[in-house]
Amino acid sequence: MRTIRNLTLSLLVSLPVVAWQAETTVRPPQALNPKIRKIIAEISEARVIDILKKLESFGTRNTLSDPNQPNRGVGAARQWIFDQFKSYSPRLEVSFDSYQAPKGGRIWKDLEVRNVIAILPGTADKDRWIMIGGHYDSLNLRVPPEIRNDPAKAAEVDAPGVTDNASGTAVAMECARVMSRYEFDATLVFVAFIGEEQGLIGARNLARKLRERNQMVEAVLNNDIIGSDVSGNGVSDNRRILVFSEDPNDSPSRQIARYLRLMGMRYYPEFSAEMVFRADRFGRGGDHTPFNEQDYAAVRFTTPNEHFGNQHSPTDTFENTSPAYITKTVRLNAIAAAAMALAPRPPVTVPQAQLPASQGAGAPAAARTGPRPGLTRGDGYDAVLRWDYPNPEPDLAGFIVVMRSTLAPDWEHEIWAGDVREFTLKNTPIDQLVFGVKAVDREGHESPVSAYWNPPRGAR
């Protein structure tokens, strides 16, 4: 194993390169964006505390609780979230995203459910969305025995749900408050999902609606159970957050996870985005899942220190959560979303006709005037990379080719290619390395990577 690894690393550092370009260009400097640094500084732990305490004060946010109570239950909670979004900035387009949920399964009555959405339109590429979300409903499964067979009364039992999931809602709300003060090329969308505890109802309906209208969504950052830095067995860790992303290893979701890690290391090194190469925890799911199912790149943030004794119980309270830890996760979400929204779109590296359902990221079809995108051996021993980039941004500077060992979790080496659509690495074995491309603008903002991969067996 060591011999293979060392051989691969020697390939990565000694590759002879020929770039097919008409003129020599220089990679823009990799400077930290002052806007992102200001956003980090403006995110407030005090504001996060206010959000957590207010959401707890509604007693329960059970999806099936009576929505007509003025200060308690799901209706009062969603109206407060709506009003808060409205108060942050007149540029935020705030709405209820409503659906009818029929009786069945975990839903014992027909009811209306409402996501709360705040949209910050982009200034240059408003049809490209980056979403930050977390569900606001709560659940208490430890109801008194005498009302277990009375679902209406069970839905009104206190369910404070601070870590699960006022914490995730606080991420979306605090990001919206701070980021709505700034302008971004792409559109930022902040979502408080409903009905997660009853089967991802709000997220499933929204993901389906966006796919039906072919909405371009570059990334969905879902935050769920990010409030605890001490687990039930006493293990404590406040310096990292888990980021789950679906297989295969070079899926669009996996590239978002890698991007989160990279931007976190650049802007906020004291808090680590630790990649977990699974769609979610064993036997469990979250609001990112319906977006994955609709071919969107979606990931999940979750604490490595879940306290199972508090989940879905009356002890999931403010006293049993960590606002400081939540605030760190807010910052990481804001960093990644802002970096993506300021950067160019990712290039198209795979012919759309070859995209399987699990990889169809909804990328725009290119007006092709030359070779189709893809990775080939050229004359037999080279790595020839081709990609599409329709409707380039006015400030596009060019592209970076990235590489790594097939055994490596993240990209290990990169080469500036310039403003081209084809790049050749001489005497480079394409079977021993993984390749990708990312776009860069003149200020140095980088898109997530678009990887080259083998199509599934049926598409070859």
pLDDT tens for residues 31-87? 899 999 999 999 999 999 999 999 999 999 999 999 999 999 999 999 999 999 999
At 459, the pLDDT band (50, 70, 90 cuts) reads very low
pLDDT of residue 30: 86
127 plus 44 within the same structural domain: yes
139 plus 274 within the same structural domain: yes
300 plus 279 within the same structural domain: yes
CA dihedral 299, 101, 360, 296 (to 10 degrees): -30
**Structure tokens of 127?**
């049809």
- Among 286, 319, 342, the domain-final residue is 342
136 plus 169 within the same structural domain: yes
pLDDT tens digits along 320-379: 999 999 999 999 999 999 999 999 999 999 876 554 443 334 444 444 445 689 999 988
Mapped onto helix, strand or coil, the DSSP state of residue 88 is helix
Backbone angles phi, psi at 217, to 5 degrees: -120, 110
pLDDT of residue 372: 84
Pairing of strands 240-244, 272-276: parallel
Q: Which domain holds residue 38?
A: 34-342
Please check whether residue 349 lies inside any domain of the structure: no
385 plus 261 within the same structural domain: no
Please check whether residue 350 lies inside any domain of the structure: no
pLDDT of residue 23: 45
**Do residues 33 and 339 lie in contact, with contact meaning Cβ atoms separated by under 8 Å?**
yes
Section 386-402 average pLDDT? 96
Please check whether residue 281 lies inside any domain of the structure: yes
12 plus 155 within the same structural domain: no
Residue 337 CB neighbour total at 10 angstroms: 27
Contacts of 166 by beta carbon, 8 Å cutoff, 6+ apart: 51, 52, 55, 56, 136, 138, 160, 227
CA separation for the pair 453, 338 (Å, rounded): 28
330 plus 374 within the same structural domain: no
455 plus 379 within the same structural domain: yes
pLDDT of residue 427: 94
Task: Give every strand in the sheet of 413-418, ordered side by side.
Answer: 413-418, 396-405, 433-441, 450-451
pLDDT tens digits along 198-233: 999 999 999 999 999 999 999 999 999 999 999 999
State pTM to two decimals.
Answer: 0.92
Alpha helix segments (H runs only) across 126-228: 151-154, 167-179, 201-212
pLDDT of residue 14: 54
pLDDT tens digits along 162-174: 999 999 999 999 9
Considering the chain, what percentage of its residues have pLDDT values greater than 90? 84
Contacts of 399 by beta carbon, 8 Å cutoff, 6+ apart: 347, 387, 389, 417, 418, 419, 420, 423, 437, 438, 439, 440
Please check whether residue 284 lies inside any domain of the structure: yes
Please check whether residue 139 lies inside any domain of the structure: yes
Please check whether residue 299 lies inside any domain of the structure: yes
Rg (CA), the chain: 23
What CA–CA distances, in Å, run from 329 to 84, 218, 378?
20, 20, 45
CATH of the domain at 318: 3.40.630.10
At 4, the pLDDT band (50, 70, 90 cuts) reads very low
Q: What total number of domains does the chain contain?
A: 2
pLDDT tens digits along 140-162: 999 999 998 999 999 999 999 99
pLDDT of residue 24: 54
20 plus 82 within the same structural domain: no
Mapped onto helix, strand or coil, the DSSP state of residue 99 is strand
CATH of the domain at 10: 2.60.40.10
Contacts of 378 by beta carbon, 8 Å cutoff, 6+ apart: 384, 424
Contacts of 150 by beta carbon, 8 Å cutoff, 6+ apart: none
The amino acid that residue 167 corresponds to is S
| First vs last C-alpha separation in the chain | 30
Please check whether residue 348 lies inside any domain of the structure: no
E strand intervals along 248-395: 272-276, 298-302, 374-376, 383-386
Checking if the pLDDT of 2 tops 70, the result is no
394 plus 428 within the same structural domain: yes
280 plus 374 within the same structural domain: no
Average pLDDT, the chain: 91
Section 259-280 average pLDDT? 97
pLDDT tens digits along 6-16: 434 455 555 54
CA separation for the pair 386, 437 (Å, rounded): 9
Contacts of 90 by beta carbon, 8 Å cutoff, 6+ apart: none
pLDDT of residue 457: 54
**Structure tokens of 253?**
């979701």
The secondary element (H helix, E strand) that includes residue 82 is: helix 73-88
The secondary element (H helix, E strand) that includes residue 417 is: strand 413-418
273 plus 389 within the same structural domain: no
Pairing of strands 383-386, 93-101: unpaired
- Among 319, 342, 365, the domain-final residue is 342
- Among 342, 370, 400, the domain-final residue is 342
pLDDT tens digits along 272-298: 999 999 999 998 889 999 999 999 999
